[in-house]
Structure 1
Amino acid sequence: MPRAKANGLELEYEAFGDPAHPPIVLVMGLGAQMVTWETGFCELLAEHGFHVVRFDNRDCGLSTWLDELGTPDPADLGQAEAPYSLSDLADDVVGLFDALGFAKAHVAGTSMGGMIVQRLALDHPDRLLSLTSIMSTTGDPAVGRTSPAALATLTQPPARSREAAIEQSIANYRTTGSPGYPESEEYLRHKATRAYDRAVHPAGTMRQLMAILTAADRTEGLREVRLPAVVVHGDADQMIDVTGGKATAAAIADAELVILPGMGHDLPEPLWPELVAAIVRATEREAG
C-alpha cells in the first residue's frame, strides 16, 4: 500500500474508484485500522461515483507510531496532558488531502473519526465539501456516554499473546457490536486475526484515547458550521450512546439525523446500503 507524507508523518492509505471523481476520505475510530472500513463498503461507495480513500490514523495500523511520546497510564486517562490532540489528528487529514492533491473533499468518520471530522469542520471548513459523522459525539460529557461494559473494553490490560489478543477482540466485538445484526464467530475471528496480524499497537490506542478524553466540548463551535452534514447513529450503541449523535445533529445547522435500529458500535454489512446512502446524501445536500 502507498504512504503519504502528511503533517510530518507517514500515513498508510488505499484508494478505490476513479481518481477523476469527487474525493471522499474515510476516517476511522479509536485504535481501528483502515481495513475496518471493509473493502466491500469502500467499493460500494465508489460505485456511486466517488474516489474513496481510507487510511490509518497516526499511532495505528501501518502509519507512523509515536512511541517516543510515552504510553499513558490508564489511571491517568482524561487527567494527564495528552501527547497530541484531535486537532492534530484533523491536521493529519488535511496533510493527506495535500499529499493526494485534494483542494477539497467530502469526509466521513466513525466514532473518534467522527470527532476528527467535526474538528475538521471547525479548523479547516474551507477544505471540506460535506461531512458525515457516524456513531460519534460532540465532546459534551452529558451526552454520548459509554456503558460500564463498553468502558471495560477500553481500559483492560493488553493481551500478552496473539491467541489471547484475538479472543479479547472477539469478546469486545460481542460487547459493543450491533445486537440487531450479530456477526458469526467465523467472521469475528477473521476480523480479529486480520487486525492483529496487520498491526497491533495498544500504546497508540491509549494515546489516541487521551486525545479524546482531553478534548474540549465542540458543541458551540459546531453551531457555526455551515457545511452539508449527515449524522448517523445506532440506537443500540453501548460505546457512545445515541444521545451523542442526537446532540451532534442538533448542533450543526440543517444536519440530517439518521438513527438506525439495532445498530451498535460497528458497521454491519446489512446496513452498508443505508450507511452509504447517508454519506451520498451528505454530498448532495446544500450548505446550511
Structure 2
Amino acid sequence: MNGVELCVDTFGSPADPAILLIHGGSASMDHWEPEFCERLAAGPRYVIRYDHRDTGRSTTYEPGAPKYTGEDLVADPIGILDALKIDKAHLVGLSMGGAIVLQLAVEHPDRVASITVSSTSPSGPSDPDLPPPSEKLSASFSDDTPIDWSDTEAALDRLIADDRLYAGSLPYDEPARRALYAQAFARSINPASATNHWSVAPGGSIRHRLTEIAVPALVLHGTEDPLFPPAHGEALAREIPNARVVLLEGAGHEIPRPTWDTAIPEILTITSTN
C-alpha cells in the first residue's frame, strides 16, 4: 500500500460506520488505548487504528533517514481505507494526526464523513496570530540530549519525562503511561525511528482552505494544552464552517482518560451522521 506496509488494528463490525483514528507525531497505534477504542466500537462503530510509518510494526527506516514526505503520511489513511474497502470514514486525529485529518477533509472530501480534531492548530505553534507554546515546553525544545535507545528503562524514563511536559493538571497516571510506552517500545521494529517524523518536511499551510470543509466537524481541545493553547482550537472552530469546539477541562496536549466521559460521547455524536 503506497509502497509500504502499515500495521492496522480494528474493533467492532465492518458493517457499522467506520472511524479511522490518526495519532500524532512519533506515536504508534498504542496511544489509542484499547478501552478508548472499545467504547467507541460499542457505539456501534467500526474503529480502525494504525501504526504510522516508522512506528510500531509498520515500515521503518533508519533513524535520520526517512524515505517519505509529510504528503506520504497524509496519503496513508486513504490507502488504509482502500485496503479495507471503505468508501468513506469518520476521521479522528490528534496533534499531527489532526493536521492530517484537516488536509484530508480539504483534499479528499469524498472519503470523509466527519472530522474530529484534538490538540490541533490551524497553522502551527509559530503562528504570530495565535499564542505560542508555554515557556516550560519551549525551553525543552532546546534540550538536544540524545535518548539512549539501547537502555530500555532509561529510554522509558526520558519518554515519560517528555510526556509529562505535554500533560495538563489532571492527575498523571505514571504507571499506566509507562506501561503504554513500554508496550509501544516492545512492539516497535526500531523505537528510535519514530523520531524521523520530526525531520519530515511538512506540507504547506492549508489554513486558507479551512472554509472549504463541508463535513460535520468537532474540535476537542485541552484547556491547558502547552503546545497549542486553547485559542488554537477556538480558531479552528471559527474557521471551519459550522464546527463545534469542546474544551476538555484540565487536559493538556492529549485526550487523557479522565476526559473520556466527555470526549467519547462527543465523538459518537459527530459520527452518527452519514
- What TM-score, normalized to structure 2? 0.89
Q: Is 1:48 aligned to residue 36 of structure 2? A: no
**How far does the alpha carbon of each residue in 1:8-57 deviate from its partner, in whole angstroms, 9 at most, with x for none?**
11110110011111111000101011011000000000011100000011
The 1-side partners of 2:218 and 2:109 are apart by 15
Q: Show the counterpart of 1:64.
A: 59
The 1-side partners of 2:187 and 2:112 are apart by 30
The 2-side partners of 1:83 and 1:243 are apart by 32
Residues 147 and 68 of structure 1: CA distance in aligned 2, closer, same or farther (over 3 Å): closer
The letter of the residue matching 2:197 is Q
The 2-side partners of 1:218 and 1:202 are apart by 30
Where does the alignment leave 5 or more consecutive residues of structure 2 unmatched? none
CA RMSD between the two structures: 2.2
Aligned residues of 1:138 and 1:248 also touching (Cα < 8 A): yes
The 2-side partners of 1:135 and 1:184 are apart by 20
Where does the alignment leave 5 or more consecutive residues of structure 1 unmatched? 1-5, 72-81
The 1-side partners of 2:52 and 2:6 are apart by 7
Q: What's the secondary structure of 2:106's corresponding residue?
A: helix
Task: Find the partner of 2:245 among 243, 251, 257.
Answer: 257
Q: Is 1:182 aligned to residue 177 of structure 2? A: no
Task: Find the partner of 2:107 among 112, 123, 131.
Answer: 123
Instruction: State the 1:147 CA deviation.
Output: 2.7
Instruction: State the 1:131 CA deviation.
Output: 0.5
Q: Once structures 1 and 2 are overlaid, which stretch shifts more, 245-254 or 185-194?
A: 185-194
**How far does the alpha carbon of each residue in 1:164-200 deviate from its partner, in whole angstroms, 9 at most, with x for none?**
1111112122221131x22233223222322222225
Instruction: State the 1:155 CA deviation.
Output: 5.7
Q: Show the counterpart of 1:243.
A: 231
**How far does the alpha carbon of each residue in 1:69-116 deviate from its partner, in whole angstroms, 9 at most, with x for none?**
726xxxxxxxxxx9512x321211000000001011111000100001
Q: What's the secondary structure of 2:115's corresponding residue?
A: strand
Q: Is 1:223 aligned to residue 208 of structure 2? A: no
The letter of the residue matching 1:126 is D
The 1-side partners of 2:164 and 2:249 are apart by 17
Q: Show the counterpart of 1:91.
A: 75
The 1-side partners of 2:261 and 2:100 are apart by 24
Task: Find the partner of 2:160 among 150, 166, 170.
Answer: 170
Instruction: State the 1:241 CA deviation.
Output: 1.9
The 2-side partners of 1:13 and 1:163 are apart by 27
The letter of the residue matching 2:247 is I
The letter of the residue matching 2:58 is S
Number of residues paired by the alignment?
267
Q: What's the secondary structure of 2:212's corresponding residue?
A: coil
The 2-side partners of 1:83 and 1:15 are apart by 25
Q: Once structures 1 and 2 are overlaid, which stretch shifts more, 214-223 or 87-96?
A: 214-223
Q: Show the counterpart of 2:96.
A: 112
The 1-side partners of 2:202 and 2:77 are apart by 20
Aligned residues of 1:31 and 1:202 also touching (Cα < 8 A): no
Instruction: State the 1:144 CA deviation.
Output: 6.2
